[in-house]
Structure 1
Amino acid sequence: MLKSFFKKLVRDRIFRIFLILLLVFSLIKTFSDNPKPEYPKPPIAADQINEKHVLSYFFYWYDLPKGYHDDYLVDHPIDKNASYENPDWFKNELLDMEEAGIDTALAVYWTKNESFSQVGLKNMVKAREILISEGKSPPKIALFLDTNAFGKLPKNKRNFLTDNGRQHFFSYIEDFYNEVPSEHRATIEGKPIIWLFGNYQELLVDQTAIDFVYSNFEKKFRVRPYIVRESTWNYARKMKLFGSYVDYQMPIKTDNYYGWGGAFLGTVDVGGVVVVGPGYDTRHIPDRLNEKFVEREDGSFYEKNLKKAIKTNKSLLAVETWNEFHEGSDIAHSQEYGKKYIEITKKYVDQFRKK
């Protein structure tokens, strides 16, 4: 009888465990990402853009004399003392960008939480002031908000669905433009540019967060911004029991959007922006899950992509990147290539403007 009792007890426990597991799997299924339904494409832009505009991503986190961000470089700056602490380095880079025909330096910003962000930005503005006084016409400066910086933040600061979270989101943008006087701000149709990197950190967001940025930016700076989102911001991201999910029933609208990946895909024609790149190499970077290598082909890969970009008849052209030397996607003056890619850029940018 005792043996029978224990058998029944074991069976009951197994049955209860089975029920619990069934409930857990049911909840996971309930709260998991919904399959993509048929949904409308997000709008490209509120209005067609009349002006031709060329932008490139300026990574200013380097301080080679102190060994900051000098590890795992594929390519190397021509200036062996490149540093965000040195206005002269910024002067030379901005002059080279002007030579390449680039209108806007998308300053890759990691918020105040990174030491280089504010110091480097101030020196970039200082460098531009000096160049203007010398009669030069360097590119203006715009915010490229690198959302990788948010990966270090606590979850409550990555939830832009709350009042507190929305305020944190806006504060990063406000901190940047507090350092960039209006005469140095790059604009599209008179509006300062906010360029968002991909939502790869599962930031919880919907249209209310974007609208919060629009309204508060206008209150603070007396002008409405021009927001360009990466395509991973096209739909709201909401919280679920385990993590988050994309709500494809809730599109997000901004002035424009684009797709990241021009450096390794060659050409990305998404939204109202066409993105191009010269090649890519992350084979040597530790802990990269998806190593990629795209051969530059002595510049012909880049030229081919620029030709494709011109044929799209888009008004916005983004070059990925100006100087991301870790990933080998740079077109800046380098020890490896000299000014070869600056010259290629200038040649096709001139054609882009005439199209």
Structure 2
Amino acid sequence: MGKRHLIIVFLLLYVAFSMRLVGAQEPVQAYPLRIVVSTTSDWTRLTLFNVSFIRLNYSVVSGVNASQLRCSIFFNAISISKGKQDASNVTIVIDALAQVEDRNLSLLIEKGDLGETVLKIYGVEDGELRLGEVLTNSGSVQGDPRNPRRFNLTGVFRGFKAVETSIPGRKIVEPVLLAFYYPWYGNPQGGSGVWSHWEGVGYREIGSSTHYPLFGPYDSQDENLIRVHIRLAKAFGVDGFVCSWWGIDSFEDIALRKIVRVANEENFNVTIYYESVRDISKEQIVNELSYVLRRYSGAPSFLKINGSPIIFIYSVSAYDRDPSFWGSVMEEVWFETGINATFIADTFDTSYLRVFDGLHTYNPIWVEDFNSTYVGEAKSVRLFGKIWVATVSPGYDDRKIRVPGSYVDRRDGAYYEETWRGALASDPDMILICTWNEWHEGSEIKPSREYGFRYLGLTGGFAEFFKETEIEASPNPLISLEGTTVDSNILLNIINSGSGDAAAVSVIVSHEEIAVKQVSNLIRLPINESSTCFFIPLLESEQDVSISLPFGSNEAKVIVLTYFSLNGDAFTIRKEIFSAASHGDQSFKMIFIVFLILGFISILLLFLRKRFPAK
């Protein structure tokens, strides 16, 4: 990282630090409100600008039996949806504390083409309600299916009385930095023995991957690969992985068994990201969550808060699963296991805080203003006494796997810094990185050919600030390359005599012919007809690896070996090695040349004797 870039990062950290201190220590002024929303449209959404709910409770007082009814309450928005063309009335009552800014207070009401949406805002003073405003959006706007109507709220709050309240700080004393981790990659030459999630694999490009991993098309069930992932994560301040999990005995579950085992040895945290976007029954969800808790939560590495194992659940609202559904699931899981787990939901809908222990969002690319969104959501979550988890991301690009796909430019690290600033400003209990290795969607921070260790470097800087600690640099590896020959085979011996680990070791061998059979237990890829690359995920200090190369050619083999320290420093070795056959040929040629020279000298001497006979 250049000096100029470091200065920018530290300035951003200073700004975030200042905001964090103010938000954590000062009380806030808030308005007690009662808000009544009635709609006869099949959907409506009300969005507040510069007004945010920091505490709320709501109830449906009319239309509770409307078809496919869904009510969602966010820190600055209210959403109601019903079955298509359902014109029945739904009314919800919200009791809230609202924090307002001194400028541009407004409300946007959107709805379907049916019916109308009416909002009534009451101030609450000494237990008495005082009507402040009635706002209505009826009819439709030609050419715009959202039928938007905007209202100015500046005058509404002037007649209301604010009260002083305080926002609780972190629920978790020691901040935690986690990364979403995908253990679903397989390679027939690796631990799983099958292709999984890698498609169109070549040395220069992988068809299903936005960027190219420095580790090559690796296998998630390779324990060496898991170990180096964990050590790299720790080297840059990451405390644990939230592992995508798709069911009992799935590919990801088999990988998780190995991840937990290695994490136990490496003093690293692991939990699951329960993938709920599947058409599965409530019974299956209960069985799967119970299985995870029984099988894994007792491991030293399984992520816990005060002894309670933590599980993150993706997209909790999928398949119309409302808070009561998940509340019932959690009750049954506790009954099945007797384990008091902590469940954190992927949603900003605060109505789920009735049953969940905290909120997060998986992918934050939908967020327009990270500071205001995260700070607002954090206040709402904290006033429920729950855990607030902010998500950061380096960017996004899924255009290789989806059409047309979505793209968020990394902007040379600026987008990542922007998400970190917003996260830090909200003083979260935990920060989630989206992602460590989601190669399909181009959101990885793991080293790639395109970006090297750049995003791990940025992560380390922010991690030091977030956790108020200094990360020690890892010692450097020192690799040497030796070649011995046996018949026509070359045995490469790669030795790390340094005090640090070598990561993402790649060995490129030039040749004219190489046996088609597997020549080692390493993943390898042909580069072209005359060279092959071998991938070694981890070479620990004082460890060596041998590669046997049965070449049929008698030419010299050029070896180019590249490796990295856990700090991201790159090293390259280039060496020429001759096969045994090649050495034999060279010796024969030398002997032949010597005989030719001796023969020539003999003929020359004979000629001279005849030409100039002795007297």
Normalised to the residue count of structure 2, the TM-score between the two structures is 0.43
Q: Give 1:203 deviation, angstroms.
A: 4.2
Deviates more, 1:334-343 or 1:345-354: 334-343
Candidates 116, 119, 123, aligned match of 2:254:
119
For 1:105, the equivalent position in structure 2 comes to 241
For 1:70, the equivalent position in structure 2 comes to 198
SS in 2 for 1:354: coil
Given the alignment of the two structures, is residue 326 of structure 1 paired with residue 326 of structure 2, yes or no? no
Aligned partner letter, 2:178: L
In 1, Cα distance between equivalents of 2:314 and 2:333: 20
For 1:254, the equivalent position in structure 2 comes to 356
In 1, Cα distance between equivalents of 2:397 and 2:271: 26
Correspondence list, 1:242-321, <5 A: 252-263=354-365, 265=367, 267=370, 269=374, 270=377, 271=381, 272-287=388-403, 291-321=405-435
Candidates 38, 48, 55, aligned match of 2:171:
48
Given the alignment of the two structures, is residue 210 of structure 1 paired with residue 327 of structure 2, yes or no? yes
For 1:199, the equivalent position in structure 2 comes to 316
Q: Give 1:173 deviation, angstroms.
A: 1.3
SS in 1 for 2:467: helix
In 2, Cα distance between equivalents of 1:292 and 1:320: 15
Given the alignment of the two structures, is residue 224 of structure 1 paired with residue 350 of structure 2, yes or no? no
In 1, Cα distance between equivalents of 2:88 and 2:254: 43
Larger relative strand fraction: 2
In 2, Cα distance between equivalents of 1:63 and 1:76: 15
SS in 2 for 1:126: helix
In 2, Cα distance between equivalents of 1:293 and 1:231: 22
SS in 2 for 1:84: coil
Deviates more, 1:323-332 or 1:117-126: 117-126
For 1:182, the equivalent position in structure 2 comes to 299
Q: Give 1:40 deviation, angstroms.
A: 5.3
Aligned partner letter, 1:54: L
In 2, Cα distance between equivalents of 1:123 and 1:64: 16
CA contact (8 A) 2:178 2:242 kept: yes
Q: Give 1:318 deviation, angstroms.
A: 1.1
- C-alpha distance 283-212 of structure 1, shift in aligned 2 (>3 A): closer
For 1:141, the equivalent position in structure 2 comes to 270
Q: Structure 2 unaligned runs (5+)?
A: 1-82, 98-166, 189-193, 200-207, 382-387, 470-615
Q: Give 1:214 deviation, angstroms.
A: 4.8
In 2, Cα distance between equivalents of 1:93 and 1:260: 21
Aligned partner letter, 2:244: V
Candidates 308, 327, 337, aligned match of 2:451:
337
Given the alignment of the two structures, is residue 350 of structure 1 paired with residue 461 of structure 2, yes or no? no
CA contact (8 A) 1:75 1:325 kept: yes
In 2, Cα distance between equivalents of 1:33 and 1:143: 41
SS in 2 for 1:143: strand
CA contact (8 A) 1:263 1:320 kept: no
SS in 1 for 2:319: coil
In 1, Cα distance between equivalents of 2:251 and 2:452: 26
- C-alpha distance 55-218 of structure 1, shift in aligned 2 (>3 A): farther
CA contact (8 A) 2:183 2:244 kept: yes
- C-alpha distance 216-68 of structure 1, shift in aligned 2 (>3 A): closer
CA contact (8 A) 1:264 1:293 kept: no
In 2, Cα distance between equivalents of 1:32 and 1:173: 38
- C-alpha distance 314-92 of structure 1, shift in aligned 2 (>3 A): same
SS in 1 for 2:439: coil
Candidates 59, 65, 70, aligned match of 2:182:
59
SS in 1 for 2:234: helix
In 2, Cα distance between equivalents of 1:191 and 1:177: 10
Q: Give 1:168 deviation, angstroms.
A: 2.1
CA contact (8 A) 1:280 1:329 kept: yes
CA contact (8 A) 1:214 1:225 kept: no
Structure with max Cα Rg: 2
Deviations 1:89-117 (A, max 9, x none): 1111111111121122101111127x312
Deviations 1:177-199 (A, max 9, x none): 34424312111233111101113
In 1, Cα distance between equivalents of 2:168 and 2:324: 15
Task: Give 4+ residue runs of structure 1 displaced > 6 Å after superposition.
Answer: 44-47
How many pairs does the alignment contain? Answer: 292
Q: Give 1:47 deviation, angstroms.
A: 8.0
- C-alpha distance 89-292 of structure 1, shift in aligned 2 (>3 A): same
For 2:225, the equivalent position in structure 1 comes to 89
How large is the Cα RMSD of the aligned pairs?
3.3
SS in 1 for 2:179: strand
- C-alpha distance 311-30 of structure 1, shift in aligned 2 (>3 A): closer
In 2, Cα distance between equivalents of 1:33 and 1:295: 43
CA contact (8 A) 2:308 2:340 kept: yes
- C-alpha distance 286-30 of structure 1, shift in aligned 2 (>3 A): closer
CA contact (8 A) 1:60 1:107 kept: yes
In 2, Cα distance between equivalents of 1:282 and 1:348: 26
For 1:247, the equivalent position in structure 2 comes to none
Larger relative helix fraction: 1
In 2, Cα distance between equivalents of 1:258 and 1:200: 13
Normalised to the residue count of structure 1, the TM-score between the two structures is 0.71
CA contact (8 A) 2:183 2:221 kept: no
Q: Give 1:340 deviation, angstroms.
A: 1.5
SS in 1 for 2:412: helix
Q: Give 1:218 deviation, angstroms.
A: 6.9
Tell me which of the two structures has the higher relative contact order, counting C-alpha pairs closer than 8 angstroms and 6 or more residues apart.
Answer: 1
In 2, Cα distance between equivalents of 1:209 and 1:200: 10
Aligned partner letter, 1:121: L
- C-alpha distance 85-353 of structure 1, shift in aligned 2 (>3 A): closer
